[in-house]
Amino acid sequence: MAENSLTFQGTKAQEEQLMSVIEQNKNVPGALLPVLHEAQEIYGYLPIEVQQMVADGLGVSLSEVFGVATFYSRFSLTPKGKHKISVCLGTACYVKGSDKILAEIENQLGIKSGECTPDGLFSIDSCRCVGACGLAPVMMIDEDVYGKLTPKEVGKILKKYMDEEGGAK
Amino acid sequence: METVHLKINNIPVEVPKGYTILQAAKQANIEIPTLCYLKDINCIGACRVCMVEAKMNGRPMRGLLAACVYPAEEGLEVFTNTPAVIKSRKTTIELLLSTHRKKCLSCVRNNNCELQKLALEYGVDEDHFESEDAGYELDEQSPYIVRDNNKCVQCMRCVSMCKNVQTVSVIGSIKRGYQVHIGSAFDKSLGESPCVGCGQCIVSCPVGALMEKPQEDKVWDAIQDPEKEVIFFTAPSIKATLGESFGMPIGTNVEGKMAAAVRRLGDGVKIYNMDFTADLTILEEAHELIERIQNGGTLPMFTSCCPGWVKFVEHYYPDFIPNLSTCKSPQAMFGAVLKGYYAQKTGMDPNKMFVVSVIPCTAKKFECTREQLRSGDGDYDDVDVALTTRELARMIRRAGLTFADLPEEDYDTPFNKATGGGVIFGATGGVLEAALRNAARTLDGDFKMIDFEEVRGPEAIREVTYNVAGMDIKVAVTSGLGNARKILEKIKSGEADYHMVEIMACPGGCINGGGQPYQPDSVRNYVDYKALRSKALYDQDKNSEMRSSEESPVCKMVYDEFFEAPGKEKAHKYLHTSYVARGNKMS
């Protein structure tokens, strides 16, 4: 592995964008939450480097920033992969066994839901209902929907994305 | 003053507007139980233990009210112990206990725990609700504080203390729901955070989730080791607080029994008086102040005896490092006196000396490990172990000593005597007052004033100008790091120009240090225990024959035999130190 995608790789442009957000929100009561939202928009996730910039910029402690970032499930502390896998754990999908689909993906990629593979190719998340209950169980990879899944099919689908990268494993 | 009238358990009460139900009830001599509430520190209505029933205009109010946050209102009728209230409290405590690791027998807070006390009072079943043990790892990486989140009740008292009072904010609430726990950012150890080690979180904790890094076993081992010469010395404030651990009233001066107790911990254990090195610190520090004033040195000069404050400057205000007095703290000076001067004088091998300080403080555990404080060339720290007052009390108990019945004894010679100036080190303002006594007498041989009462309090920040030998000396005193920050910002902006500033990290100074005996909430919330503890020291000072540090015969001896005079080369080598900028980020 040349460079681990889990190490922070923020750009100067991203930093400037974040700084301008902080500048606009400085001295605004309760600014931490909206600034973290923007920060996640800019970077895709909230690594320690970004949280430290927010803390320094707003004059709050890192522990407070971390507390807010870990309280809300919409904030992510890990980067998202090039391909974002989202397994539906809504009622219909769940009774159709989507938990087993998720477990199979986790097993094949060697990461847990909420995490990203070290090569940066995939990240896994769970979601609640994508509105395709008739196709349950359902997962999405990026914008593509895969329905009526069985654990067996998972490997084939993942392989398609790996092959696209030219590095079939 | 605007007041409101209400009834509590049918007793009419008139209280100032703005009082909470909890305060109003106390005025009617009714105590409502609390757990997360801590006066002046934490008032968030989170734990739901203080719930009460109420009626307004004769009609029952919906639900129960949290007495610690609900304002006393005109016409309110409060009932603090109805069956509904008792049931609610009992269920709340049972729920808290469901996720609490109930290893009470071996817990440092056994018999001293707010949760245990409530459980007993409300006759709860600790296993009423089953739950899995969260299995948090102990955080014992820092040299001063241990956190056991398995016992935490999420009252937020430590967080509030750290953030709002000390403004250090290295701990916070992490995650939500069942996963909530208290810790440092990114779940790193406290030891990796810019924590100053004051230990105020420990004395704020109602349960056993926080404790000092225990080191008694090391001392017991040394006592058993025939090779080791075990030498104790006790900080000025210990005599004013140790008695509390043995059920004595707050503010009882137990100096004589303390000396007797330590001596009985083991054969040959020596007990010296750290008030002596408090005097020694004053002689060096007052000399340094005069020199800085006369030679255009960096002003204001900050006191440097509080290791929490020193670490605070190193982390958060490194630009002010030149302002810190270069004097070692009394603890560190004593280490250097013993392993430097005294080892040479008596021919003892400093490697075989086992030096134990008893201090009111967890930050001093860190101070012992500072390499800048090593005065010798060998691979040893000048002070081997720093024990808190609580740890000494535990040792005395384990030794089977009935503290209250011990005779009053003296410290061991030659480090036994000290002046009132050394004694008052343990209270906020004491160091500055002792320095002023000595500096004024150095500059003006006829100077008479001994009590500099203006620096003693009770205001949070005291600024005074004294005229000494025709010169105006401007001083400031505060305690608590939030207040320290205010003073530093004032100096930074040029709004203030003091000559000398005394700062103690803990609110009230060492008498309220993070290593002092626990006081139950019933005391912390309703009694001015800091004033009672301070009074013990000021009373001793008042009754001392010698009150200004230059009168100390022990200081005279060590200067005559070894250090020559304050500020001289040898004194500098052994009694002064340096500081390092540490950065304010997680490491």
pLDDT of residue A2: 38
List of E strands, B283-360: 301-302, 353-359
Residue A51, chain B, CB below 8 Å: the answer is: yes
What is the Cα–Cα distance from B374 to B336, expressed in whole angstroms? Answer: 8
Terminal alpha carbon distance of chain B: 51
pLDDT of residue A167: 54
Chain B: closest CA distance from residue A96 (Å): 28
Place of tokens 């040479």: B344
* Helical packing angle, A32-43 and A12-25, nearest 10°: 160
Enumerate residues 6+ apart whose C-beta is below 8 A from A97.
A137
How many Cα atoms occupy the beta-carbon half-sphere of B439 within 13 Å? Answer: 30
Best of B169, B190, B316 to disrupt the A interface (most A CBs within 10 Å) is B169
Across the A/B interface, how many CB contacts are shorter than 8 Å?
38
List, for residues B54-67, the tens digit of each pLDDT value.
999 999 999 999 99
Whether the Cβ atoms of residue B29 and residue B67 lie closer than 8 Å to each other: no
| Residue extent(s) of CATH 3.40.50.1780 domains in chain B | 214-587
Chain B: closest CA distance from residue A122 (Å): 23
| Residues B464, B240, B451: CA angle, nearest 5 degrees | 30
What are the phi and psi torsion angles at B385 (to 5°)? -140, 140
What are the phi and psi torsion angles at B350 (to 5°)? -60, -25
DSSP state letter for B113: -
List, for residues A76-108, the tens digit of each pLDDT value.
998 888 999 999 999 999 999 999 999 999 999
Whether the Cβ atoms of residue B449 and residue B311 lie closer than 8 Å to each other: no
Chain B: closest CA distance from residue A22 (Å): 19
What is the Cα–Cα distance from B193 to B190, expressed in whole angstroms? Answer: 5
B321: left (phi over 0), alpha (psi -120 to 50) or beta: alpha
Q: Looking at domain B94-212, which of 3.30.70.20, 3.40.50.20, 3.40.1080.10, 3.40.50.2300 is its CATH number? A: 3.30.70.20
The CATH class of B214-587 is alpha beta
Cα Dmax for chain B? 83
| CATH architecture of the domain with residue range B3-81 | Roll (3.10)
- Three state DSSP letters for A101-129: HHHHHHHHHCCCCCCECCCCCEEEEEECC
Residue of A nearest to B171 (CA): A63
**Does the beta-carbon distance from B176 to A71 stay under 8 Å?**
yes
Residue numbers in A near B585 (CB within 8 A): 52, 62
Best of A6, A32, A48, A61 to disrupt the B interface (most B CBs within 10 Å) is A61
Nearest to B125 by CA among B151, B81, B93, B82: B93
Strands B270-273 and B229-234, bridge-based pairing: parallel
List, for residues B262-296, the tens digit of each pLDDT value.
999 999 999 999 999 999 999 999 999 999 999 99
User: What percent of chain A is modeled with pLDDT above 70?
Assistant: 94
pLDDT of residue A168: 46
B211: left (phi over 0), alpha (psi -120 to 50) or beta: beta
| CATH architecture of the domain with residue range A83-164 | 3-Layer(aba) Sandwich (3.40)
Q: Between these two residues, A1 and B88, which has the higher pLDDT value? A: B88
pLDDT of residue A6: 67
Whether the Cβ atoms of residue B499 and residue B519 lie closer than 8 Å to each other: no
- Which pair of tokens denotes residue B193? 């955070």
Q: Which helix (H) or strand (E) holds B76?
A: strand B76-79
- CA–CA distance from B251 to each of B65, B343, B409, B530 (Å)? 36, 36, 19, 9
Residue numbers in B near A61 (CB within 8 A): 163, 169-170, 172, 185
Best of A6, A8, A66 to disrupt the B interface (most B CBs within 10 Å) is A66
Q: What is the mean pLDDT of chain A?
A: 91
Nearest to A140 by CA among A130, A152, A150: A130
- Which pair of tokens denotes residue B262? 């330590």
Has residue A63 got a pLDDT over 90? yes
Q: In which residue ranges of chain B is pLDDT below 50?
A: none
What are the phi and psi torsion angles at B378 (to 5°)? -70, 175
Residue numbers in A near B586 (CB within 8 A): 48, 62
- CA–CA distance from B55 to each of A39, B74, B107, B201, B285 (Å)? 48, 11, 41, 37, 62
pLDDT of residue B543: 97
| Residue extent(s) of CATH 3.10.20.740 domains in chain B | 3-81
Query: What confidence category does residue A1 fall into, taking pLDDT thresholds of 50, 70 and 90?
Result: very low
List of E strands, B246-352: 270-273, 301-302
The pTM of this model reads: 0.92
List, for residues B378-399, the tens digit of each pLDDT value.
889 999 999 999 999 999 999 9
Chain A: closest CA distance from residue B181 (Å): 10
List, for residues B184-208, the tens digit of each pLDDT value.
999 999 999 999 999 999 999 999 9
Three-class DSSP category at B91 = helix
| Residues B130, B134, B135: CA angle, nearest 5 degrees | 130
Place of tokens 């008479």: B448
Q: Which helix (H) or strand (E) holds A57?
A: helix A48-58
| Residue extent(s) of CATH 3.30.70.20 domains in chain B | 94-212
Query: What confidence category does residue A169 fall into, taking pLDDT thresholds of 50, 70 and 90?
Result: very low
Looking at the DSSP bridge assignments, the partners of residue B38 are B42
Residue among B169, B193, B585 whose CB faces A64 most closely = B169
The per-residue b/e assignment along A56-77, b for 16 or more CB within 10 angstroms, e otherwise, is: ebbebbbbbbbbbbbeeeebbb
- Which pair of tokens denotes residue B399? 């030794």
pLDDT of residue B458: 82
Kindly tell me the sign of the dihedral angle through the C-alpha atoms of B209, B212, B215, B220.
Answer: negative
